Amino acid sequence: MCRWFESNCRYTCHKVISWFIKQGMNNSSFASFRLNEPIILPKALEGFSFGTAPARSVSVSEEIASIFPHLESQYVQSILRKGGERFPPLKIGVVLSGGQAPGGHNVLAGIWDAIKQSGGALFGFKGGFKGILTDSFRVLEDAEINSVRNTGGFDLLGSGRTKIDSDEEIKRAVATLQKHELDGLVVVGGDDSNTNAAYLAESLQGRGPVIIGVPKTIDGDLRSCEIPISFGFDTACKVYSEIIGNIAKDVISSKKYYHFIRLMGRKASHITLECALQTHPNLALISEEIAANNSTLQDVVKEMADFVEERYSQNLRHGVILVPEGVIDHMSDMRKLIAELNELFAPNHPLASFIQEKTLPSERLDLVLANISKDARGCLALFPRPLAETLVYERDPYGNPPLSRIETERVFAHFIDKELRARAMKSGKTVPFAFQTTFLGYEGRSAYPSYFDAHYCYALGKLSVIMVVKKLTGYMAAIPNVYEPVDQWRPVAVPLVSMLSMERRLGKNKAVIAKQPVDLFGPLFAQFAEQRDRWRLDDHYQHPGPIQYWGPKPLVESPCISISK
Amino acid sequence: MCRWFESNCRYTCHKVISWFIKQGMNNSSFASFRLNEPIILPKALEGFSFGTAPARSVSVSEEIASIFPHLESQYVQSILRKGGERFPPLKIGVVLSGGQAPGGHNVLAGIWDAIKQSGGALFGFKGGFKGILTDSFRVLEDAEINSVRNTGGFDLLGSGRTKIDSDEEIKRAVATLQKHELDGLVVVGGDDSNTNAAYLAESLQGRGPVIIGVPKTIDGDLRSCEIPISFGFDTACKVYSEIIGNIAKDVISSKKYYHFIRLMGRKASHITLECALQTHPNLALISEEIAANNSTLQDVVKEMADFVEERYSQNLRHGVILVPEGVIDHMSDMRKLIAELNELFAPNHPLASFIQEKTLPSERLDLVLANISKDARGCLALFPRPLAETLVYERDPYGNPPLSRIETERVFAHFIDKELRARAMKSGKTVPFAFQTTFLGYEGRSAYPSYFDAHYCYALGKLSVIMVVKKLTGYMAAIPNVYEPVDQWRPVAVPLVSMLSMERRLGKNKAVIAKQPVDLFGPLFAQFAEQRDRWRLDDHYQHPGPIQYWGPKPLVESPCISISK
């Protein structure tokens, strides 16, 4: 055996083997099959030379324009394929920000595969924006990228919820980017992170590294005309729907209990709507509809108790109910209660310090109950006492009652049980009501990306590189026609300023990318509204099964219902 | 168009279409693809003529033999393929009993496909044994069977936990079987249902319908020398491992919390052991080991707090911990507490009625605390007060404290948090501890059966028919070499009496099929014990991904680790 082999290949073999051992992988593990699965690029993103053409003008309010004078991006830009040269050797930084979403690693792969041939370099900042502020990064090359292709999670770089908000933070971030002479920074994040990206781009005054946003969030609430969906939503909803379908199968087999399932989505109910369309539960609450109807918690509980009674009159004691985690915050009496509590606890309220001196939660609750309106009191009194005590005793980081501590699915089951018992006391007729509860959150956000998300992310990665070359700073990478087959996708760049609007946050007006709620006048909600009456008393459960990565094309390649045209 | 077509085919078309609509299926749904996926039979089960040969003699205690004098089955019987005639026209009844397990429908398909050609009839009793007692059934033919092939759940017939226990019940059951002149009854169930099957077979004195057992339970605790696994275990563990793998990816990406995951298994920890081997968590509790070591709840909590501290000393604040739901019942101090509580509440105890008069849970708890031993008191005092009140206030259907109401994963997180705070008070050094909890149960037991379970169940169905023909009453269908490829499986019939042992239940000695615990001296536990130290501080998480039904053969066809040789 030649020396060269001994010293080089053995070392490589050793490295490869020990990497496999570290990953705990063997040749037949799921991960190893996924790692080697090729990803195709849309035809429009093949090659290395591209032009841009204005596709649509966007209007920006005067206030936004005055905050972002340097981001004069009045057009959504189409990306057009041209000749076939190479990219210049690019140095690109990338950051994964906020909660994980399936496919993040494929964004990195898309960037790396685009720049590696021309001698580019990829800096992965560690732990979200904190990595930029502290100049903590990892150079990503073949070894790193090849170990994460088509896998879920953000574990290659980690993530974080640090923001780059203040002038001081922006200065430090810019210093890091300039120190490494980066040509561009790709910010993979949700509404907050992309708001940060817009401010960062503005502060660079259109010069220096190009700042690109990539739309990420399983919640599906980062959208615009050209961005039908953020990445991760497809996979997460498919994982949740798999589980909901299994639970529905259990419910229809045993027929003896109601299963309440809480889904993610504090502000918007996109996940619940998608999962409802995939699985056909008997009931699915949509926060936006409840807010639009000005429904109170008591209204909704009564309606749900009616629903249980109605099913029981048809001899049905079982059901599947989907509840978005944020639904309670959208009820008019809860909003009133929260507003009154916030007022009562505001530093300038005469009772505030007196109430806050009460160190026993029960004392504090009694005092609060005595000092709020009748409506608010009625609402607070609905909750089991320990939970009501928590609501008036603790504050979340934004100074609000800790609503995220409410396990919505359990609380609803409890409310309905209480309501049915109260009705039985009056009428003498008992309606049996047994229930189970499940919360689906962590199961979906770090799954292996679906065919759709794997390809979508890879394409967004390559697109980001093209946008760096074209110096489209302050733009978001986007593919408006994702409902078509991958090879026909047509990429565009969307000005971040076109997505900004003014919002009051912590007492100040701020330009932010607003979370997009479910459109109650859109075709998706219409599809749901048209079908749900049929699902209410008759069981039409669907069982979508686990995500398939091989096998029948429609199973593998079809995106979720929200994305289909 | 001819008249015949108009009257016949149109009707058929209409039936097919309305069936699809009722199922909510379209041509590209997951269910429709699974329905049409062919299942192969082991070579040894092909054809229609079979012989038997004694394979192993079994010893049965005198006591068991005296209870079952008519089940003289002193041999495990090998099933041997012979010529190629048809089966006689058989009338077979089938019942799905107890909790759902993936694959139940394929047992029905296996039976039906075997008997339909010779003009047989299949009676599916509805809602478990209740269907036999009330003579409620559904005749199963192509239409019914073809609508459930390869699907999860027991929804075609429903299930139930009714037992056939008393002489009166046995008489009623026999009357139903004889009324329909059934040649055989196939009991698809776990330990309890198969115990019932043994009593039923005995009461028929070896005459009349042949009673066959089929081993079903996701818990994996129905085993014997020839029964390496019950059906459903493979699928359920794969679904749980998919989710655990996703959660582990989330944990390693965010690195900021411990995730406690409770798995099914009140008496035995097979699911936890299998899932641990599939996913490599940092810690997995095995109830059987805790019982064998005589560990107390306080010991285990201390060890777990040590583990969190040890990881923190290496700057790790995250982890994945698996907990079997029944672990608390296996701790020596909890067993002592339960025994003392049961004694205190026994009708002949001097304080019993006095304690039970206390209608306030808190009063009752105080009174109980004052009247139990110091050890038991220390143990009860560990629990949050509302939970302790529940434990002394309520009774489960077996007259025990309602341990199933303890959400083990939450309680452990709470205990560890409390222990770490207490240590911080003493040492002044705070160890940060954030956690999340998940319970995995319903997600797995009604999933689409894996390749393994789909084939295993179909083979068990066909095997049951052969056993009816061979009049092997009081036997269980079994395939000892399931770790080999499907076509090489060699079926046997195992005498149910060989699985029975005497147990004290509700104050009486009764012959029952005992749940098999994890074998602490077996190769599977050894494999776990050998690896777990490596997983403790270093993260070696595995992410098995969702069950694949198409694609790379090893991913699709490999059974879970417990089944592999």
Q: What are phi and psi of A216, to 5 degrees?
A: -130, 130
| Chain A residue nearest residue B444, CA to CA | A246
Distance CA B230, CA B218 (A): 7
Q: What is the pLDDT of residues B488-508, one digit of tens each?
A: 999 999 999 999 999 877 667
Q: What is the pLDDT of residues B417-466, one digit of tens each?
A: 999 999 999 999 999 999 999 999 999 999 999 999 999 999 999 999 99
B chain contacts of residue A449, beta-carbon cutoff 8 Å: none
Whether the pLDDT of residue A368 is over 50: the answer is yes
* CA angle A374–A379–A383, rounded 5-degree value: 135
Could you tell me if B126 lies within 8 Å of chain A, comparing CB atoms?
no
Distance CA A319, CA A432 (A): 13
**Global pTM value:** 0.93
Could you tell me if A265 lies within 8 Å of chain B, comparing CB atoms?
no
Could you tell me if A445 lies within 8 Å of chain B, comparing CB atoms?
yes
Q: Which of A288-297, B47-56, B397-406 has the lowest mean pLDDT?
A: B397-406
With the C-alpha atoms ordered B490, B491, B494, B496, is the resulting torsion angle positive or negative? positive
Q: Do B31 and A448 touch (CB under 8 A)?
A: no
Q: Which of B18, B28, B30, B280 to mutate to test the interface with A (most CBs of A within 10 A)?
A: B30
Per-residue pLDDT band at A27 (split at 50, 70, 90): low
Whose tokens are 């055989």? That residue is: B184
Q: A437 has which bridge partners? A: A260
Percent of chain A predicted with pLDDT > 90: 75
Contacts of B286 (CB under 8 A, 6+ apart): B269, B272, B273, B324, B518, B520, B525, B528
Whether the pLDDT of residue A264 is over 70: the answer is yes
B chain contacts of residue A541, beta-carbon cutoff 8 Å: 24
| B102 close to B232: Cβ distance less than 8 angstroms | yes
* 3-state SS class at A165: coil
Q: What is the pLDDT of residues A157-201, one digit of tens each?
A: 999 989 998 899 999 999 999 999 999 999 999 999 999 999 999
Q: Report the side by side order of strands in the sheet with B319-324.
A: B283-284, B319-324, B258-263, B435-440
Residue type, A474: G
Whether the pLDDT of residue A19 is over 70: the answer is no
Q: Which of B113, B192, B219, B333 is catalytic?
A: B219
* E-only strand ranges, B10-141: 50-57, 75-81, 91-96, 121-125, 137-140
A chain contacts of residue B253, beta-carbon cutoff 8 Å: 100, 153-155, 158-159, 446
With CA atoms as reference, report the closest residue to B144 among B136, B155, B134: B155
Residue type, B434: A
* 3-state SS class at B477: strand
Q: Do A543 and B259 touch (CB under 8 A)?
A: no
Per-residue pLDDT band at B126 (split at 50, 70, 90): very high
Give burial (CB, 10 Å; 0-12/13-18/19+) of B271: buried
Whether the pLDDT of residue A552 is over 50: the answer is yes
Report the pLDDT averaged over residues B290-300: 95
Distance CA B541, CA B241 (A): 11
Two tokens, residue A536: 């209410």
Per-residue pLDDT band at A401 (split at 50, 70, 90): confident
Nearest CB to A550: which of B28, B31, B550?
Answer: B550
Could you tell me if A543 lies within 8 Å of chain B, comparing CB atoms?
yes
Two tokens, residue B368: 């109980």
Which B positions 205-244 lie with beta carbon below 8 A of chain A? 239, 242-243
Residue type, A15: K
Could you tell me if A544 lies within 8 Å of chain B, comparing CB atoms?
yes
Kindly give the residue spans of alpha helices, DSSP state H, lying in A348-473.
352-357, 361-370, 374-382, 385-393, 408-427, 442-445, 451-469
| Chain B residue nearest residue A543, CA to CA | B31
Q: Report the side by side order of strands in the sheet with B91-96.
A: B50-57, B75-81, B492-495, B475-478, B210-215, B184-189, B91-96, B121-125, B137-140
Q: Do B33 and A246 touch (CB under 8 A)?
A: no
Cα distances from A40 to residues A110, A229, A454, A458, A487, in angstroms, run 10, 20, 10, 8, 8
Q: Do B442 and A544 touch (CB under 8 A)?
A: no
Q: At what angle do helices B385-393 and B374-382 cross, to 10 degrees?
A: 120
Nearest CB to B250: which of A243, A255, A442?
Answer: A442
Report the pLDDT averaged over residues A317-326: 97
Q: What is the pLDDT of residues B475-490, one digit of tens each?
A: 999 999 999 999 999 9
| A160 close to A130: Cβ distance less than 8 angstroms | yes
Two tokens, residue B8: 């016949």
pLDDT of residue B208: 86
Distance CA B455, CA B487 (A): 10
Element (H, E) at B331: none
Cβ-based neighbour number of residue A181 at 10 Å: 10
Could you tell me if A451 lies within 8 Å of chain B, comparing CB atoms?
no
Q: What is the mean pLDDT of chain B?
A: 91
Cα distances from B556 to residues A266, A445, B40, B551, in angstroms, run 37, 24, 14, 7
Report the pLDDT averaged over residues A33-59: 93
| A233 close to B79: Cβ distance less than 8 angstroms | no
Per-residue pLDDT band at B540 (split at 50, 70, 90): very high
| B447 close to B236: Cβ distance less than 8 angstroms | yes
Whether the pLDDT of residue A16 is over 50: the answer is no
* 3-state SS class at A50: strand
Distance CA A488, CA B140 (A): 48
pLDDT of residue A352: 77
Q: What is the pLDDT of residues B136-163, one digit of tens each?
A: 999 999 999 999 999 999 999 999 989 9
Two tokens, residue A152: 């879920």
| B290 close to B327: Cβ distance less than 8 angstroms | yes
Q: What is the pLDDT of residues A428-444, one digit of tens each?
A: 999 999 999 999 999 99
Q: Which of B20, B147, B155, B531 to mutate to test the interface with A (most CBs of A within 10 A)?
A: B155
Nearest CB to A30: which of B153, B541, B543?
Answer: B543
Per-residue pLDDT band at A351 (split at 50, 70, 90): confident
With the C-alpha atoms ordered A39, A44, A49, A50, is the resulting torsion angle positive or negative? negative
Could you tell me if B400 lies within 8 Å of chain A, comparing CB atoms?
no
Per-residue pLDDT band at A391 (split at 50, 70, 90): confident
| Chain A residue nearest residue B442, CA to CA | A247
> Following CA atoms A30, A32, A33, A36 in sequence, which dihedral angle do they give, to the nearest 10 degrees?
150
Q: Do A24 and B542 touch (CB under 8 A)?
A: yes
Q: What's the ipTM?
A: 0.92
Per-residue pLDDT band at B356 (split at 50, 70, 90): confident
Q: What is the pLDDT of residues A210-244, one digit of tens each?
A: 999 999 999 999 999 999 999 999 999 999 999 99
Which of the two residues, B303 and A20, has the higher pLDDT score? B303
Q: What is the pLDDT of residues B68-102, one digit of tens each?
A: 999 877 799 999 998 767 889 999 999 999 999 99
Distance CA A97, CA A119 (A): 26
Per-residue pLDDT band at A286 (split at 50, 70, 90): very high
Percent of chain B predicted with pLDDT > 70: 94
Contacts of A530 (CB under 8 A, 6+ apart): none
| Chain B residue nearest residue A439, CA to CA | B438
pLDDT of residue A525: 97
Q: Do B28 and A555 touch (CB under 8 A)?
A: yes
Q: What are phi and psi of A163, to 5 degrees?
A: -110, 160
Two tokens, residue B197: 């099957």
B chain contacts of residue A315, beta-carbon cutoff 8 Å: none
Report the pLDDT averaged over residues A324-341: 91
B chain contacts of residue A247, beta-carbon cutoff 8 Å: 442-443, 446
Active site residues of A: 219
Q: Chain B closest CA to A42's CA: distance in Å?
A: 24
| Chain B residue nearest residue A159, CA to CA | B254
| Chain A residue nearest residue B445, CA to CA | A250
Whose tokens are 């056939």? That residue is: B164
Percent of chain B predicted with pLDDT > 90: 75
pLDDT of residue A20: 45
Distance CA A332, CA A516 (A): 20
Report the pLDDT averaged over residues A449-453: 98
Q: Which of A203-207, B50-54, B191-195, B228-232 has the lowest mean pLDDT?
A: A203-207
Cα distances from A294 to residues A288, A290, A299, A333, in angstroms, run 10, 6, 10, 9
| B219 close to A420: Cβ distance less than 8 angstroms | no
pLDDT of residue B26: 59
Q: Do B250 and A446 touch (CB under 8 A)?
A: yes
Q: Which of B26, B36, B105, B250 to mutate to test the interface with A (most CBs of A within 10 A)?
A: B250
Could you tell me if A35 lies within 8 Å of chain B, comparing CB atoms?
no
Whose tokens are 């502290």? That residue is: A134
Structure letter (DSSP) for residue B350: T
Q: Chain A closest CA to B254's CA: distance in Å?
A: 6
Report the pLDDT averaged over residues A368-392: 87
A chain contacts of residue B259, beta-carbon cutoff 8 Å: 442
Nearest CB to A436: which of B280, B442, B543?
Answer: B442
| A153 close to B253: Cβ distance less than 8 angstroms | yes
pLDDT of residue A543: 95
Distance CA B307, CA B311 (A): 6
| B176 close to B204: Cβ distance less than 8 angstroms | no
Per-residue pLDDT band at B66 (split at 50, 70, 90): very high
- Side-chain-side CA neighbours of residue B456 (13 Å): 32
Could you tell me if B540 lies within 8 Å of chain A, comparing CB atoms?
yes
With CA atoms as reference, report the closest residue to A466 among A202, A135, A183: A183
Q: Which of A259, A318, A385, A446 to mutate to test the interface with B (most CBs of B within 10 A)?
A: A446
Q: Chain A closest CA to B497's CA: distance in Å?
A: 30
Q: What is the pLDDT of residues B17-56, one digit of tens each?
A: 444 444 455 566 889 999 999 999 999 999 999 999 999 9
Q: Chain A closest CA to B112's CA: distance in Å?
A: 21
Whether the pLDDT of residue B2 is over 80: the answer is no
| Chain B residue nearest residue A253, CA to CA | B155
Nearest CB to B552: which of A31, A444, A550?
Answer: A550
| Chain A residue nearest residue B546, CA to CA | A546
Could you tell me if B10 lies within 8 Å of chain A, comparing CB atoms?
no
| A278 close to A241: Cβ distance less than 8 angstroms | yes
